[in-house]
Amino acid sequence: MSRVLLLALLAALLLFPTAARAGAAGVVVSQIYGGGGNAGATFRNDFVELFNGGSAPADVSGWTVQYATAAGTTWQTTALSGTIAAGRYYLVQLASNSDVGAALPPADATGTSNLGGTSGKIALVRGSAAITCGASAGSCSTEPLVEDLVGYGSASDFEGAGSAAGLSNTSAALRANDGCTDTGDNATDFSSGTPAPRNSASSAHACAGGASPGPSGSVNVDLDVASVLSVSLDRPSLSFGTFTFGDRPAPLPERVTVSSNDAAGYSLVVARTAFAPTDLPLALSATAPAGGALGGGLSGGVLVPIPIIPATGLTVGTKAAPSAAGGDVWATSIGFSSSLPLVATGRYTATVTFTALTR
Amino acid sequence: MRAVLALAGLSALVLAPAPSAEGAGAGRPRVALSVSPAQLSLAAPASRRIKLRNDGAEPAVVDVSRRTVGGETAVKAWLQIVPVRLSLRAGESAILTLRARRFRRAEPGDHQVLVLLTTRPARGGRVNVQLRLGVRVRMRVPGRIVRRLRLGGLRVHRERGVRSMFVSVANRGNVTLQLRGHVTTSLVRRGKQLARLSPRARPALLPGTRAVLVLRYGGHVRGPVTAVVRVRLGSGLRVVERRYRVRL
């Protein structure tokens, strides 16, 4: 029912739009060519092509396209102006080494940056000041004004797992699907291909699932997503059977699944009551899900004694990020840290409590 | 673009929670509980509601309790929760109401309470297992707000090509300070910035608590440098800065 309500809310927001506003998000670097004017070059000038894959016009006045060498952190800026319509391209013409190669189509902005022919870094920045990042992978991604970053060849910084392929005098870095693909990984979003510069007069391209380019209205959709935390067990109780002095019952599995959308992550703690009338050495081992970190002493699948309430619980693990979409599975096993001591006959019971809380 | 993807991911998480509360019980875990929001802030006096849902295939009885954080035992009495016990059928939801009262003797600033939602254990096994969800509640008492952060010493750990620097921070004020996104660090030599580092730390620092910022540098610069650590205490507020002379 809650899902239906949420969908209804989304539908209502779409049907009753608030004031229209041009959005800047959605502009990416779609093509880079650094061989301009070099021997055998396809084009006379280096260029950077931008693409607005969003559904609203993007005002890029005051923005800059910035270039740094493969290992450098000194950036050269080229100022942009005007607006890029939804689904349209924007051509930034840069330096030329000679008259070798064909002339570019009319540029929408012009600069003097001389791009590396094989390697370098291009940043699209929502501001005019030169950035100073780029010394190591991921350093520019934390800059709040960097709208998009592309490292190519042996660049020291890039988005995602790796840089785009190295270029040549006859090849450009081309963002897949005519500029629509943006997974945040330069290595997979870009491929090397024949340079084909497009400017604001070039044919529009609509990304799949996006609005058709051309005259359009825009709508702001606003939604507050509340934090949610859930935890589940696959067994509400564990029975070890009948044992006697000196035995060590085999551990039993208990999968604990935690779902959290909090960016700060969560922690999972375990504690227990004592067995009555005499306590037994109940213990737990665990393996962490992807991105999770096991708590103290649990690495290597070791059985660690479970503290007895009111003592501080044993931290099974923590995660400093939201859980996976289907929840994080902490595969635990509950057993005994040593052989059973000599105790009176009878039925021994205890309660184990798994506690999940946001960090 | 990354923000849009992140929002889509979060929305997907909320729209399609792992253990679905609706529909048939097939495939549903036997014991499962969810709560939203998982943390909240109150400026006393005020009230807020949180939603609790039994995502399991079996009925659940949930006990509600409070626990103070940081030894402030009196704080527990400021927060009233109704109801304190719930019986939920499989897939059923309920609303808890939290009311923060204002006490005359309460000191201004943030006070923390943990609201614990605990399922009653099943009976019959030798070892019964129960679930507990903790909801962090921050109550802010009006008055003189003090934001004070102390940057402690820096220690360098050298391991192969990576230099890890550990900086202790202490919240000496009376309100929670946000660290995530508010800390910037750079390595400087002779006035030239060599690198900017992204520190790892817990997202927020409660009043009277400490934390450690972890700065990792994988670059090639070695020898003496100055590490500049800056913490912005809030939008438009002052910046705490400390410079450390370190050898990489």
A252-294: per-residue pLDDT in tens? 999 999 999 988 889 999 999 999 888 999 999 999 999 999 9
Of B7, B18, B180, the CB nearest to A326: B18
Give chain A positions within 8 Å (CB) of B93. 2
Same domain, B115 and B196: no
Distance of CA B61 to the CA centre of its chain: 27
Which pLDDT does position A2 carry in this prediction? 46
Residue B50 and residue B93 in contact, taking contact as beta carbons nearer than 8 Å? no
The pLDDT-based confidence of B12 (bands split at 50, 70, 90) is: very low
Nearest CB to A355 within list B5, B134, B195: B134
Output the CA angle A246-A250-A252, nearest 5 degrees: 140
Residue B5 belongs to some domain of the structure: no
**Over residues A129-142, mean pLDDT:** 83
pLDDT of A221 > 70? The answer is yes
CATH of residue A317's domain is 2.60.40
DSSP letter for each residue of B115-174:
EEEEEPPPSSSSEEEEEEEEEEEEEEE-S-----EEEEEEEEEEETTEEEEEEEEEE-SS
Same-domain status, A242 and A189: no
Domain boundary among A142, A176, A193: A193
Closest approach of A99 to chain B, Cα-based (Å): 38
Assess whether B131 and B205 both reside in one domain. Answer: no
CA distance B19 to B24: 11
A35 and A166 in a single domain? The answer is: yes
In this structure, is residue B29 part of a structural domain? yes
* DSSP letters for chain B: -HHHHHHHHHHHHHHS-SS-SSS-STT--SEEEEEE-SEEEEESSEEEEEEEEE-SSS-EEEEEEEEESSS-TTHHHHEEEE-SEEEE-TT-EEEEEEEE---TTPPSEEEEEEEEEEEPPPSSSSEEEEEEEEEEEEEEE-S-----EEEEEEEEEEETTEEEEEEEEEE-SSS-EE-TTTEEEEEEETTEEEEEE--B--SEE-TT-EEEEEEEE-SS--SEEEEEEEEE-STTS-EEEEEEEEE-
Q: Are residues B131 and B159 in the same domain?
A: no
- Within 10 A of B173 (CB to CB), how many other CB atoms are there? 19
Name the least confident of A58-67, A127-136, A210-219, A236-245: A210-219
Residue of A nearest to B1 (CA): A26
* Same domain, yes or no: B165 and B132: no
A354 and A258 share one domain: yes
Residues in chain A closer than 8 A to B56 (CB atoms) = 232
Residues of A in contact with B177 (CB under 8 A): none
The pLDDT of residue B90: 92
The last residue of a domain, from among B141, B171, B192? B141
Cβ separation A254–B12 shorter than 8 A: no
- Which residue of B38, B123, B198 is in closest CB contact with A229? B38
Which residue among A136, A320, A325 places its CB closest to the CB of B12? Answer: A325
Q: How far apart are CA A337 and CA A283, in angstroms?
A: 5
Instruction: Mark whether A57 and A135 lie in a shared domain.
Output: yes
Residue A4 is given by DSSP the state H
Domain range enclosing B96: 13-141
Q: Is residue B241 part of a domain?
A: yes
- Chain A neighbors of B30, CB-CB under 8 A: 233-236
Confidence band for B231, pLDDT divided at 50, 70 and 90: confident
Asked if B15's CB is within 8 angstroms of A1's CB, the reply is no
Q: Which domain holds residue A262?
A: 229-339+346-358
- Please answer whether residues A57 and A84 qualify as being in contact, where contact means their C-beta atoms are separated by less than 8 angstroms: yes
Partner residue opposite A28 with nearest CB, options B1, B37, B130: B1
> Would residue B111 count as lying in a domain?
yes
Minimum Cα–Cα distance from A228: chain B residue? B36
pLDDT at A127: 86
* Residue A332 placed within a domain: yes
- Number of domains into which chain B is organized: 2
Contact assignment for A351 to B127 by CB distance below 8 Å: yes
- Greater pLDDT, A4 or B38: B38
Per-residue pLDDT, A214: 54
Question: A279 with A181, same domain?
Answer: no
Shortest CB distance from B130 goes to which of A349, A351, A357? A351
State the CATH number of the domain containing residue B189. Answer: 2.60.40.10
In a domain, B180, yes or no: yes
**Same-domain pairing of B18 and B134:** yes
CB within 8 Å: B19 and A322? no
Provide, as residue numbers in chain B, all residues whose Cβ is less than 8 Å from the Cβ of A352: 127-130
Question: CA-nearest residue of chain B to A71?
Answer: B219
| Domain assignment of residue A188, yes or no | yes
The 10s digit of each residue's pLDDT in A2-36 is: 444 444 444 333 333 332 222 334 799 999 999 99
Beta-carbon count within 10 A of A20 CB: 12
* One domain, residues A314 and A175: no
For chain A, the domain total comes to 2
Tell me: do B108 and B168 sit in the same domain: no
The reply to whether A38 and A107 lie within a common domain is: yes
Q: What is the dihedral of CA B172, B173, B176, B177, to 10 degrees?
A: -70
- Do both B80 and B179 map to the same domain? no
Task: Tell me: do B137 and B54 sit in the same domain.
Answer: yes
How many angstroms separate the CA of residue B104 from the nearest CA in chain A? 30
The b/e string for B35-60 (b: 16+ C-beta within 10 A; e otherwise) is bbbbbbebebeeeeebebbbbbbbeb
The answer to whether residues A27 and A151 belong to one domain is yes
**Which residue carries 């090397």 as its tokens?**
A192
pLDDT of residue A281: 93
In a shared domain, residues B23 and B86: yes
Q: Identify whether residues B20 and B137 lie together within a single domain.
A: yes
Cβ contact B36–A226 (<8 Å): yes
Report yes or no on B7 lying in a domain. Answer: no
Domain boundary among B141, B166, B185: B141
Structural domain includes residue B31: yes
- Domain's final residue, options A169, A193, A217: A193
Contact B4 A25 (CB under 8 A): yes
Residues A37, A186 within the same domain: yes
Considering the domain boundaries, does residue B233 fall inside one?
A: yes
Closest chain B residue to the Cα of A263, Cα to Cα: B203
Instruction: Test B13 with A353 for CB contact under 8 angstroms.
Output: no
Asked whether the beta carbons of A353 and A268 are under 8 A apart, the reply is no
The whole-number pLDDT of residue B112 equals: 86
Q: Do A238 and A166 reside in the same domain of the chain?
A: no
Report yes or no: A93 and A107 within 8 Å, Cβ to Cβ: yes
Tens of pLDDT, residue by residue over A207-220, are 875 444 556 666 77
The dihedrals phi and psi of B5, each to the nearest 5 degrees, come to -60, -40
Q: A118 and A66 share a domain? A: yes
Question: Residue A121's pLDDT band (boundaries 50, 70, 90)?
Answer: very high
Between CA A218 and CA A211 the distance in angstroms is 10
Partners of residue A236 in chain B, C-beta under 8 Å: 30-31, 58, 121-122, 125, 128-130
Q: Average of pLDDT values for A326-337?
A: 93
CA triple B112-B36-B235, angle to 5 deg: 55
Instruction: Identify which of A7, A230, A263 has the shortest CB distance to residue B18.
Output: A230
Residues B157 and B224 in one domain: yes
In a domain, A1, yes or no: no
**A252 shares a domain with A140:** no
**Chains A, B: CB pairs < 8 Å:** 211
CA distance B186 to chain A (A): 10
Tell me what the mean pLDDT of segment B39-53 comes to: 88
Instruction: For chain B, give the longest Cα–Cα distance.
Output: 71
Nearest CA in chain A to B8: A225
ipTM field:
0.75
Residue A147's CATH number: 2.60.40.1260
DSSP string for A35-75: -TTSTT-SBSS-EEEEEE-SSS-EE-TT-EEEEE-SS----
> Are B85 and B204 in the same domain?
no
* B190 Cβ contact list (under 8 Å, min separation 6): none
Closest partner CB to B133 (pick from A139, A233, A356): A356
Q: Does A63 fall in a domain?
A: yes
How far does B240 lie from chain A, in Å, by closest CA? 20
Residue-level pLDDT at B73: 66
pLDDT digits (tens, 9 = 90+) for A70-87: 988 999 999 998 889 888
